[in-house]
Amino acid sequence: MSSIATKIFKYRSYTPIPFVILMLVFENATVTSLIVGFFIALIGELIRFWGVSWAGSETRTTGGVGGTYLVISGPFAHVRNPLYVGNILMYLGIGIMSMALFPYLQIVAILFFILQYNFIVKEEEGFLEKKFSSDYQKFLQNVPRFFPRLTKYKDSSIPQPDYKISAGLKSETRTLQAFGTTVLLIIIKWYLSSNNIL
């Protein structure tokens, strides 16, 4: 990996923190924004959970790009990077919940994460192409990077891991904790502000 991509990949779990802080400081939520934003964020988390239940704990690595299987099942049959799609929906949803500096903060955040994921994805694609060669080439040609296809991509010749919800829960624990905490903090801040407690 290039030095920039390596750093982005290693610290990708921490890059949302400045945006979360801004969303809390400048929170300007309404009941509608809380409901709409929560459902968008929840869809993102469900996509992530579906993906990690197929890909397992390998999605949690910070040491470098890797992968035992070329996963083309579940959400990977529709989009090559469902976890990143899920993340973007989560960030967008939480941004809408808070309505902080709307829409400028949300636009900047989405553009930042798209740029970040483009760096990471290029490295991941290089690794997968070397490891899985023609299988990955076919996958690359048939499944979009970020915008899902409606029909499933299928290739019975490619071995797949088992779908394990327990592994998905284990892998996703930190994300679920961060998601729940952020949502709760925004709701508390909104409640305190709307009742003139702050």
Q: Where are the domains of the chain?
A: 3-194
Residue 64, pLDDT > 80, answer no
Asked if 14 and 131 count as a contact pair (C-beta separation under 8 A), the reply is no
Residue 33, φ and ψ in degrees, nearest 5: -65, -35
Asked if 126 and 56 count as a contact pair (C-beta separation under 8 A), the reply is no
Determine the Cα–Cα distance for residues 89 and 46; give it in Å rounded to an integer.
10
pLDDT over 90 for what percent of the chain? 75
Provide the CATH topology of domain 3-194.
Answer: Four Helix Bundle (Hemerythrin (Met), subunit A) (1.20.120)
> Cα angle at 176 between 186 and 74, to 5 degrees?
125
pLDDT for the residue 175: 93
Averaged pLDDT for residues 68-78:
94
pLDDT for the residue 62: 43
pTM for the complete prediction? Answer: 0.89
Question: 78-92 burial, b for 16+ CB within 10 Å, e for fewer?
Answer: bbbbbbbbbbbbbbb
pLDDT for the residue 119: 86
How many residues does this entry show for the chain? 198
Interval 111-165: pLDDT, tens? 999 999 988 898 889 889 999 999 999 999 999 999 999 999 999 999 999 999 9
Letter for the amino acid at 58? E
Helices (H) and strands (E) in the chain — how many of each? 6, 0
Those residues with Cβ within 8 angstroms of residue 165's Cβ, 6 or more apart along the chain or in another chain: 53
Among 142, 146, 162, which residue's Cα sits nearest to residue 74?
A: 162
pLDDT for the residue 63: 45
The mean pLDDT of the chain is 90
Determine the Cα–Cα distance for residues 38 and 4; give it in Å rounded to an integer.
33
Is 2 or 82 the better-scoring residue by pLDDT? 82
